Amino acid sequence: MSSTTKEEGTTYSRLKEKLAEIDCLSSLAGLAGWDELTMMPSGEHAALLRSKASAVLAGVIHQKSIDSELGKLIANSQPSRPKDIANVKRAKEEYERSAKIPSDMAKKAAELQSEGYQIWVKARTAKDFQTFSPILKEWVDLVKRRCELIKPGEDAFNTSLDEYERGMTAERLNEIFPVVKTCVVDLIQKVYAKESPVALKKGENVVSNGTFDVDTQAKLSKEIALKLGFDLEKGRLDVSVHPFTGGCGPGDVRMTTRYKENDLSEGLTGTIHETGHALYEQGRNVTEYANQPVSRAHSMGVHESQSLLWERMVALSPSFSTFLLPELKKSFPKEFENVTEAQLHASLNVVRNPSVIRVEADELTYPLHILLRTELEIGLMRGEIAVDDLPKLWNEKMKQYLNVDIEDDSRGVLQDVHWSSGAFGYFPTYLLGAMYACQIFEAAKKALPTLEDDIAKGTFAPLREWLRVNVHDRGSECDSADDLLVLVTGKPLDAEAFTKYLTEKYTKLYNL
């Protein structure tokens, strides 16, 4: 027996080494990606070389990911501790997903991705869906075929969704999303019937009506990111056109942000949003499980839950305004001289006119943008919706959900980049993240009775450490976000946490 155990141990150790190699190379891909958006010289040749180099590295990573020796080690590794068992399970899922795709299909997907992006940019500029339609048809076909290879006989949308949100299904979304829809449609009508939040006069906004020195904003945002717990020993904070969090892994997390001179909220809440992502990354297990699949973030949705928890649950809360106002008075004494906490909180949470653009939507209308895309994606994957019908359906749904008219496809069906890379099933993770955040924050409040007072005082360590233990360090050990939520909150995802949060918040803010 003991020799068998040793043999098993050796097999698993070898597996861990191979997985760590893949992770190491991925960390360099992360570095190259970060560098490209922040540091790389602007010349054409630098961009060309980087694109070639990144493609070669991706090829090397792919080859290592489908190596048959890796497959054997996965099949023969039988560790006994739960986190190790989860580690092998995650490795197996990834191996099977990669190894079942023939290399010509993988190559075709890579080509389509590059071509798709370029054609999407062109189509959006020309406001012409017909330019984009052929590539989207190719993508629908390729993703369906790929899903059939990965999980034969399974619903293609579910297989694709699983890649971004492990364990999630269309059936589960159909239990959750309609509850959200009913709630927000009702709330939106009530809110739009009001002129402004009770704390503000009509049109008043203390964070977006003014001129705020960008360097002062950057200094304040950095101070707040550090106060929330971002660790500069394990990461960097830079500026880029589109904020993101990336880098090389838990010990080297690189986030970026951007600032608008006339809108304090964009840079500030944007930085806090990225800090949420960064804290998740910095909180991953790097002791025993460094470079292992199980230490990685659970899913896109759970990642988004961490950014939205810090952005919405913390930064947009009344308690945070209590903490923030004196800081703003220090940084911008003139602008905030006579401002009250209630005015600050209301200004940060004001509901704007419904936007036809998802990334400009507020938290009340945002879910409807996601519902629309999710319905269309499910229809596409199941063959119930034809690509050519998308613009018409899109515009009808936008009218129905948000009562807005789409002027042209660049502000409609062509607005998002995701479909140009065949990412069907990615959109739902944005809304799921918002919902997970509510439920996790509810549990945090129960576990930390002084949480709101702590936030008001600028004491963020208790929440951060609670998240570290309950979410960050757990990584990918759960088979689904529902399982993770059971561990963290005692129950699977329950749409009520989200609808309750929205209803209470906006009822109070707008005196509905």
Catalytic positions are 274
Is the torsion defined by CA of 485, 487, 491, 497 positive or negative? Answer: negative
Q: Could you give the C-alpha distances from 470 to 229, 477, 487, in angstroms and in order?
A: 16, 12, 8
Shortest reach from residue 315's CB to a copy of itself, in Å: 24
Query: Given the complex with a copy of itself, which of 49 and 75 has the nearer CB atom?
Result: 49
Q: Find tokens 């496809």 and name the residue.
A: 409
Shortest reach from residue 421's CB to a copy of itself, in Å: 22
Shortest reach from residue 257's CB to a copy of itself, in Å: 17
Indicate the residue type of 427: F
List CB contacts of 122: < 8 A, sequence separation 6 or more.
Answer: 131
List CB contacts of 417: < 8 A, sequence separation 6 or more.
Answer: 117, 120
Query: Given the complex with a copy of itself, which of 33 and 458 has the nearer CB atom?
Result: 33
Query: Given the complex with a copy of itself, which of 24 and 386 has the nearer CB atom?
Result: 24
Cα–Cα distance measured from residue 508 to residue 501, given in angstroms and rounded to the nearest whole number: 11
Name the strand (E) or helix (H) holding 236. Answer: strand 235-239
The residue among 410, 207, 446, 162 whose CA lies nearest residue 328 is: 207
| Beta-strand relationship, 235-239 and 252-257 | parallel
Shortest reach from residue 45's CB to a copy of itself, in Å: 3
Distance separating the N- and C-terminal Cα atoms of the chain: 69
Query: Given the complex with a copy of itself, which of 59 and 167 has the nearer CB atom?
Result: 59
DSSP state of 423: -
Cα–Cα distance measured from residue 469 to residue 448, given in angstroms and rounded to the nearest whole number: 13
The residue among 140, 111, 103 whose CA lies nearest residue 376 is: 140
Residue 13 CB neighbour total at 10 angstroms: 13
Query: Given the complex with a copy of itself, which of 56 and 469 has the nearer CB atom?
Result: 56
Shortest reach from residue 74's CB to a copy of itself, in Å: 19
> Phi-psi bin for 78: left (phi > 0), alpha (psi -120 to 50), beta?
beta
List CB contacts of 457: < 8 A, sequence separation 6 or more.
Answer: 323
| Beta-strand relationship, 235-239 and 245-249 | unpaired
Q: Which residues of the chain form contacts with a copy of itself (CB under 8 A)?
A: 20-21, 24-25, 27-28, 31-32, 35, 39-46, 48-50, 52-53, 55-57, 60, 231-236, 248-252, 286, 290-291
Cα–Cα distance measured from residue 43 to residue 39, given in angstroms and rounded to the nearest whole number: 12
Shortest reach from residue 18's CB to a copy of itself, in Å: 11
Shortest reach from residue 286's CB to a copy of itself, in Å: 6
Q: Using DSSP, how many helices (H) and how many strands (E) does the chain show?
A: 20, 3
